[in-house]
Structure 1
């Protein structure tokens, strides 16, 4: 399929085939795609949990507005951001840049100091909002990669972060969950499977300024 045909094929799955599982190769593609997602300044303030544990998935259903896709899916991807964003996060990024690119400190330091100063002036609430926006970029990227790879998915905001935190022990890792993405394969009896996609006329959603 072409990219557009793949995006036409994609939809938010309402029922997964719970007897089908993604291969290790498919999971590795999603992990790589997540890691290659564009983020502001390249800082990657994101962590993705990959859950493949049916008992745990069933436990999470009641904390996900009883959405059964959580239990049915092959895997659950949980996108997390730092509970607290620290100066060390920025410093670690520049250590990575220096290690990979061997960029001299005299080039890196002005930008590093700018970011440290910029983040020091933001509240944790402002940093939460900024980081969550990065998670949405990652989610969009994963949805497209899933479509191209013929992996079904269903993006979700409807869950109780505090319960996910408690069950997955995320606070101890300085993480808080913000988005979840069940992935797997659509069930043959999913009522949404063969419905036509509903979208605006492209001329109503795209404007050209020449």
Structure 2
């Protein structure tokens, strides 16, 4: 199947079959797609928290726009971004880069010094706005990989960030939740969107040529 066929197949599932679970093999492929996503300056300023524990999901559903979707999904992936940049975080990432590439540490210091200046004059709110945007690239790639595996998914921003952050102790990790991705297998009988045509605006309206 081609990427476009996979994207035409997928939709934001509205009801999951709680008895069907995503295999560890398929889950790892979806997570790997997210891990391989490009990020600004290669900093990967976010993490993906995998929630499969039903008790945790039950705690998280309060404040969710579609609680049953969260509850019945196989896994909930929480895309959580750094709450701020720091010199230490930047150095840690680039030390890792040079170590993996067998280069001397500090090889990219002229570039990282520029990053430190740029982020040094910004607020924590500006930092989080930037790190949060990075997560959406990974979210999209995770959905595409899930579709290739015929694993259903539902991206979600309709949830209580504060509640999720507290339940998963994200503050202690220097993270704040941005979005969720529910994974599983559709309940054909109750997923009302399953048998409807996919709707997108026409290409001639979507694309603006200059």
Q: TM-score range by the shorter chain?
A: over 0.9
User: Is residue 176 of structure 1 aligned with residue 176 of structure 2?
Assistant: yes
The count of corresponding residues between Structure 1 and Structure 2 is: 209
Shift of 1:27: 1.0
Report the Cα distance in structure 2 between the residues aligned to 1:66 and 1:139, rounded to whole angstroms: 19
Partner of 2:208: 207
Where in structure 2 are the equivalents of 1:1-12 lying within 5 Å?
1-12=1-12
Task: Give the gaps of 5 or more residues in structure 1.
Answer: none
Per-residue Cα deviation, 1:108-162 (whole angstroms, up to 9, x for no partner): 1101111111111111011011011101111111121111221111100111111
Shift of 1:19: 0.4
Partner of 1:86: 86
Report the Cα distance in structure 2 between the residues aligned to 1:60 and 1:66, rounded to whole angstroms: 11
Task: Give the gaps of 5 or more residues in structure 2.
Answer: none
Per-residue Cα deviation, 1:147-180 (whole angstroms, up to 9, x for no partner): 1221111100111111111111111111111111
Partner of 2:132: 132
Report the Cα distance in structure 1 between the residues aligned to 2:73 and 2:99, rounded to whole angstroms: 38
Partner of 2:194: 193
Shift of 1:208: 4.0
Change (3 A) 1:106 1:165: closer
> Under a length normalisation based on structure 1, what TM-score does the superposition of the two structures give?
0.94
> Under a length normalisation based on structure 2, what TM-score does the superposition of the two structures give?
0.94
Q: CA RMSD in A?
A: 1.4
8 Å Cα contact 1:73-1:183 kept in structure 2: yes
8 Å Cα contact 1:63-1:164 kept in structure 2: no
Report the Cα distance in structure 2 between the residues aligned to 1:32 and 1:6, rounded to whole angstroms: 18
Report the Cα distance in structure 2 between the residues aligned to 1:55 and 1:203, rounded to whole angstroms: 47
**Does 14-23 or 96-105 show the bigger shift?**
96-105
8 Å Cα contact 1:152-1:186 kept in structure 2: yes
Partner of 1:118: 118
8 Å Cα contact 1:13-1:193 kept in structure 2: yes
Per-residue Cα deviation, 1:16-43 (whole angstroms, up to 9, x for no partner): 1110000010111012111101111110
